[in-house]
Structure 1
Amino acid sequence: MTSKSLEAVALRDDRYRVLVEAIVDYAIYMLDPQGNVASWNRGAQRFKGYTEAEIMGEHFSRFYTEEDRATGLPARALHIAATEGRFEQEGWRVRKDGSLMWAHVLIDPIRGDDGQLVGYAKITRDLSDRKAVQEALSQSEQRFRMLVQGVQDYAIYMLDPLGKVSSWNRGAQRFKGYTDEEIIGEHFSRFYTDEDRATDLPARALRTASSEGRFEAEGWRMRKDGTRFWAHVVIDPIRGEHGELVGFAKITRDVTERRNAQQELEATRARFIQAQKMEAIGQLTGGVAHDFNNLLAVVIGNLHLARKHLPPERKLRQLIENSIQAAERGATLTKRMLAFARRQELTRAPVDVPALVRGMAELLQRSISSNIPVSTQFPLQLPLAFVDASQLELALLNLTVNARDAMPKGGTIMIAAREAQVGTDEVSGLGPGHYVCLSVTDTGEGMDEQTLARAAEPFFTTKGVGKGTGLGLSMIHGFAEQSGGRLVLKSTKGQGTTAELWLPVAEAGVLLGEDQAPAPNLPALKTMTVLVVDDDPLVLMNTAAMLEDLNHKVLEASSGEQALRILRRSETLDLVITDQMMPGMTGTQLLEALKADHPDLPVILASGYAELPEDKIMGVVRLGKPFEQAELARALVMSLRPEAEVVPFRPKHG
């Protein structure tokens, strides 16, 4: 080789040396064949902490951890480099100060022109920062995985782009019932109902999430065992670095209890609003009926008095009789209004059920369509039922109207009654005894088991808005139980409905009800001074007129306060008749005042209402409005001589 060639080689080597020495981001150094350090650049000094003077000639194994030295890793690294031409690895290396760094190591063998091994080139890069980031990311992923797996109140899982399950947490297993092995790789549409799959909802949910960035909905979802739960579902798309769709994140929560609670709250609120509405209607109805009662009392009372003074003219008497019948029919209507408003007491008495039904025939037929025939079926002999006749009429009317509504396309209604002896547990909720079973049967649509079970609940109705309050059957149920009986509903879907009213039979010796009672037998009374108290001047005048017709002297008061003033002035007063509903002082309040100053003075309380404080009226004779002269006379006798032996009653103009 010429001198110029040698100079060129030397110059090139110097350049390489300068280049290697200048590199500070890599440790580049030489090892001899035994592994001792033969060269050292600035990068090596920066990473490892040794100066060139400290490290030259030292074995490179000192850069390895004790664990790696114990396993012979340094020697194996040189052996692999020499035999395979390269050794590459990442691992922990030790600095001069004993600290560790995560290093990428590359060892290449260096051979002479004759192929003999003359040493090794070793390049090391400090990747501690990258390692720290990777470990932090790995720990974060592990913590997130633990978090997702630990959540049991939410089903959190992944779907691939086609909708197949690719991950599954414990919450998903708890909600849906599938284990990882059972569900991974299966399509998520199996969680949807048949109805939702028929409308392609699963595919639409993924399309919506992919195109709009999110899908959120609530609906029924299926568990492994086939049961349903109400779920809140969120589906989010997952995209890669370049925006490509790589799958979906799906979060599901079981909100069945919340939904049930919300529905119950809404139902309770609706029932409360309905109850308020019905209470307002009831108050209005009761008020109207009360005032109507007063008017009827005047009309009926005056007609009866007028009838006594009529000349023997048949036409005129016929007109009066017709007016009395119309007024009495109005009184019956008022009783029904008060019964609806819960302001009429339950007056139980023996009732001839077939006779009651026949008496309602015109009303019942008017209440239903003319194309629905109503037939009856009664035995030749039937015992009397012990029940409130007015309430029974209202219940029968309700049942007949319900039967009509169940037959929008027409049909037939059968009203029947039979006698029955009930033993223990023969009819649910009915005690053993002797009963009259009044039934209304239609040929309508019938009810399924679920509807039948709720039919008598307050405010439950299958009718449309504005077509039913849901109170009819519940009122009948309450009336039947209050009467000592039972309402029993029997129905099959598509085969009609039978409503049975089980009513207790009247015991022998119980007196007939007022509507069925014979003419009263009353003792004659001496002339008395009676104080009549009523805020309605028409009722006041009518009651006074009937008393005067019975040969009694009458004092009148339009209020409780005026009545007390009259009592203070009067020395000879035999009896007081007072209305209940009066402004300022009610009838019961007047009773209390009278008991304090005149404890022995007989009092009759006249009212069409049932809602009276029983503790305030114990032992007081009550007179229901509207009343006739005979009923007034009977009340006078009961207030003065409740133990009197009855004799025929004869008004002075009989």
Structure 2
Amino acid sequence: MQENYHLLVESIQDYAIYMLDPLGHVLTWNVGAQRSKGYQEAEVIGTHFSRFFTEEDRATGKPGAELRAALEQGRYEEEGWRTRKDGSRFWANVILTPLYSPAREHIGYAKITRDLTEKRRSEELYQLLVSQVKEYALFMLDEGGHILTWNEGAGRIKGYTAPEIIGKHFSIFYTPEDLAAGKPAMELDVAVKAGKYEEEGWRLRKDGSRFWANVVISPIYKDGHIGFAKVTRDLTKRRELDRVTQANRILEASNKELERFAAIASHDLKEPLRKIRMNAERVLGDVQHPLSEQQQVALSKIYGACGRMATLIDDVLQFSTLSQADHFEPYSLQGVLADVEVLLEQTISEKGAVIECTGLPVLLMVPAQMRQLFQNLVSNALKFSRKEERPLLTITQRIVKGADVSESGLWPAEEYLELRFRDNGIGFPQEAAEKIFNLFDRLHNKDAYEGTGLGLAICRKIVENHGGVISARSAPGQGAEFRILLPA
């Protein structure tokens, strides 16, 4: 039997197991001791076990203090640094037990050492990981729900420092409604019974503000239930994004329905208008049955009203379809302007208008929409010109750094293209600069200037579709300037 015990101890490789005499000199040496400390048996037998201690521990008399503590207490155990033959250190679990003869005479010590360096390194890495994670609140609770640990993420999300919160009950993070319902205790109970508790709900920060949290509570066991691990993540931004996304889906569906309605309504409304206008034209041109002057005026007004109504229906339909997702592509703004000049060639010629423009760049755009934007702005400059002066429209451009832009509503970009359309027309009061972009808002009587009041509303919608903003500056009799910012 004694031989078997000897063979057992000699064959163990994961533990250094050896004997010391009463003064601490090494008497035996197993394979595990050789493996963990680096000494061969012949090198170490008879030497004092203090050689395995660090210089600092030897200087403070630690080896002798351990022997005395083992004698006085019947056993000594600790974790600490020890040294190998090559001088390297390792983290060791040490158990020192006094040995006695059958006559109860103290004959030495049994010493068991286990290398825990990898375990300690792993624990240190985990502790470093947990302490520095910023996106998650990671902390431990005792069995009763009191906070034991606190990482950086918990401080960032909840607002408490470790000294402020350690020892407090975790119910401090719950809303008054949840506290009244006994939610904290319920969550711990479910975690123990089900092995985990997880939910999303409102939690409180130190300042009393609420945040939407994903919470996971897991029971921790070590020789029985000893507490809980709690992981909390702030999902407030994601929740708001989800709500915005859902609202956008509803809005998109509503827009599609509106566009469908506008398309059907425009067709159904324009058909009777065409018939009214056609018949009015036929009656006016009937030479066999001439009308009185009064009848001709009335019929002419009907004819003109039908034309204006048809134009209005077209503008409403165009505005309603601007919310559709169109294909963006690189396209020359100079080419857009050239197209518009061709479309408005007759009016430009009749008024003797001059359009001055510096070279415009290529931009990512929906060409058809950008063409409509330029057409509306050029048309306005021609329409609201002064009779005594030939129309002059100056279009300039420059690049503006994103850091120098303060306007809200812009898509984020490092640079923006600034376009300015400056005319020498009749102008308008500056207090009306916002009103002119509203649907159907007109500054002038429709008899004085034709139009539906939708042109600038369409301009704003197109600019917003391209991630930009549009504004206007003017004064009566001093022309108008429209400024557009677009992501470059």
Give TM-score, length-normalised by structure 1: 0.38
The structure number with the bigger radius of gyration is: 1
